[in-house]
């Protein structure tokens, strides 16, 4: 719903959530390029970061999948870092679903777990996500199911740690991108990179990304690429 009206608090939280996704993706060399980041609501989403592969992909490497896990978790991680654990939202629900599906496939279908080897452990049913679910649908021991769960959790925990490290080490850039999204609402990858360098987006009067974005003649985004951190609520 493009007509959805968000409060200033919701806009700020959404801006940091999407800035978190964007910043981590920019800092993962193996990640696919960003098409755009926006805080203009679409459907049930208050904002989003869209990605644009440089070429058609028929397969993905382990390091590319791990980069996707990392960037997908970074929206929630940015919320937690800036606003505190008590103020995180359920806006990361689709991100959590995405990382669960990818990590589970890596472990149970794609043979990417050294402990489990090159065996397929998932059933043909799409609803299988965790090891105990596999146990219910196939004749797999409890010990193997526990290993499956642990391997899935390890992948997600590793991605969370990497995400937190990137965000905390580049916290000034996180503030800069969030303020840029609050001001311009939609930013391309080139504009995100420019903001980090202290270069402001140049917008024509007819700028349009299939959304309505009003160019802002003056900017409060710091030219240095940094800003004073807001106090967590």
Catalogue the active-site residues: 18
Is the pLDDT higher at 17 or at 225? 17
pLDDT tens digit sequence for 105-141: 999 999 999 999 888 886 554 444 455 555 445 558 8
Worst-scoring range by mean pLDDT, 20-24, 60-64, 219-223?
Answer: 219-223
Q: Which of 213, 25, 212 is nearest to 202 (CA)?
A: 213
Element holding 36 (H helix, E strand): strand 34-38
Report the length, in residues, of the chain.
Answer: 233
Mean pLDDT within 6-35: 95
pLDDT tens digit sequence for 179-226: 999 999 999 999 999 999 999 998 765 455 554 443 444 444 544 443
Task: Answer yes or no: are the C-beta atoms of 194 and 26 closer than 8 Å.
Answer: no
Q: Is 0.85 surpassed by the pTM of this model?
A: no
Check whether 56 has a pLDDT greater than 70: no
Query: In the beta sheet, which residues pair with residue 49?
Result: 37
Question: Helix, strand, coil: what percent of the chain each, to 5?
Answer: 50, 5, 40
Distance CA 161, CA 74 (A): 10
Pairing outcome for strands 186-188 and 34-38: antiparallel
Going by pLDDT thresholds of 50, 70 and 90, the confidence category of residue 142 is confident
The DSSP output letter for 226 is -
Per-residue tokens: 76: 């929630």
């Amino acid at each position: 719903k493009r007509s959805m009206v968000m409060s200033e608090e919701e806009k700020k939280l959404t801006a940091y959530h999407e800035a978190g996704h964007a910043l981590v993706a920019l800092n993962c060399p193996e990640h696919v390029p960003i098409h755009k980041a926006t805080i203009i609501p679409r459907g049930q989403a208050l904002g989003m970061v869209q990605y644009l592969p440089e070429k058609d992909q028929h397969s993905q490497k382990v390091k590319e999948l791990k980069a996707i896990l990392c960037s997908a978790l970074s929206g929630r991680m940015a919320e937690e870092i800036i606003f505190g654990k008590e103020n995180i939202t359920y806006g990361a629900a689709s991100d959590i679903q995405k990382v669960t599906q990818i990590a589970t496939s890596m472990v149970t279908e794609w043979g990417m777990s050294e402990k489990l080897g090159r065996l397929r452990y998932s059933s043909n049913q799409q609803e299988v996500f965790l090891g105990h679910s596999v146990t219910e649908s196939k004749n797999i021991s409890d010990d193997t199911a526990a290993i499956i769960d642990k391997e899935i959790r390890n992948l997600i925990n590793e991605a969370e740690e990497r995400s937190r490290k990137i965000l905390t080490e580049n916290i000034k850039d996180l503030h800069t991108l969030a303020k840029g999204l609050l001001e311009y609402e939609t930013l391309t990858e080139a504009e995100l990179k420019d903001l980090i360098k202290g270069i402001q987006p140049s917008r024509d009067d007819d700028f349009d990304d299939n959304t309505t974005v009003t160019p802002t003649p003056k900017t409060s985004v710091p030219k240095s690429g940094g800003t004073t951190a807001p106090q967590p609520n």
